[in-house]
Structure 1
Amino acid sequence: MQAKIIKVDCENPELAVIEEAADILKAGGLVAFPTETVYGLGADTFNPEAVERIFKIKGRPFDKPLAICISNVADLDFLVEEVPEFAKNIIDRFWPGPLTLIFKKRETVFSQATCGRATVGIRFPKNKITLSLIASVGRPLVLTSANISGIPSSIEAQQVLNDIGKNIDLILDGGKTELGVESTILDLTTAPPTIIREGAITVKEIEKVLGKLKVS
């Protein structure tokens, strides 16, 4: 059975559509939606079965952690052990935006999302559909690109449908994504911080704020 697709206004997401998607997520379903980078596949962070389903649908290795998507910096308080003082500058400069930050995690974060690691990647996107959806669910969402692992990430809803549409519950069609490039991943638990993946934000841009970085 193919996933349902609903068009959504990317500037003023329709409340009824967002609430329908949120209800699916709260019930353990999977929803694909646009971020400013690529289309993401989301699940309730605190539903281990839903998180595990993402790995299976994508064919993603079970040792490759997923990010957690928030809609407010205050959400960090119950997801990470601490926010290093130096990290506040990078948060102020690039959040919300296409940057995933890795912190030491709290025990409240299930190991299914982090693959048993002591760290967790956190993303605070600026896409209004994504932010509205997280707010409607009322808690952070696990987030990964909405595609089969190993193939290019989707930047349009039809690509998501063609790739994984048979295995998910709903696709929110907000049109083509703004950037079309995945988020940059920065590990803040190393000294100096380490660029795990360079994406929409360049190493040079981050080094202007934090100084010299390691590059994985």
Structure 2
Amino acid sequence: MYRQWLGCVMIGLLMTSGCLAVVEPDIFEGEDINRLMEFSPFTLHDQHAANFSSSSLNDTVVVVHFMFTNCYDVCSTQTQDLAAIHEQYTERVGVDLEFISITVDPWRDDAVALSDYSQVFNTSWPMLTVPFLNDENLSLIERVWTEFGVQVTLIESEESTTIQGRGHTVYYNVEHTDGVVLLDFNGFQRVRWTSDTWNATGIANDIELLLGGV
């Protein structure tokens, strides 16, 4: 009897003290981001060398893609899939849905490189980089990466493409957290898709949920 009573007391204490963990519902097909994660406002340059302000994304669902133009495997596949999804939602883009790509290689990806890349994949959404290389601009784009949970590592390599100095080692490859983050109407990061789980149909389904106000 004593043990039964003690067990009831312990359960009651756990419940009233909030010690029983509440499991967040798994809503999306991608990786749910259960914490309310926002990002700081930023201004970068697009493939047309024009300023792009994140304020233009307010009150829309946003597909944020992290890529670089010298990535010839997952980035290419992801860009092709996103172009198809973008085409699928033509009537919503510019109304309540936006796409942007942000480079993780600003040392090589200037506006010209991003413009060429955009033409190759026949995309029309903003592809963003820094206007020019200096400590302030690099700190800005690094902050954007960090706030979206993107890790970028430069690895020296004799087999990588060359650059004309541009303030960094001439031979390097980029390792980074790839994929997309989906934002809801309130600017919160809600879903993450990487190459490990990449599925174009699943991404489109998650976009549909966010457009529905989930």
Larger relative contact order (Cα-Cα within 8 Å, sequence gap ≥ 6): 1
Do Structure 1 and Structure 2 share a fold, with TM-score over 0.5?
Answer: no
**TM-score, L = length of structure 1:** 0.25
Larger Rg: 1 or 2? 2
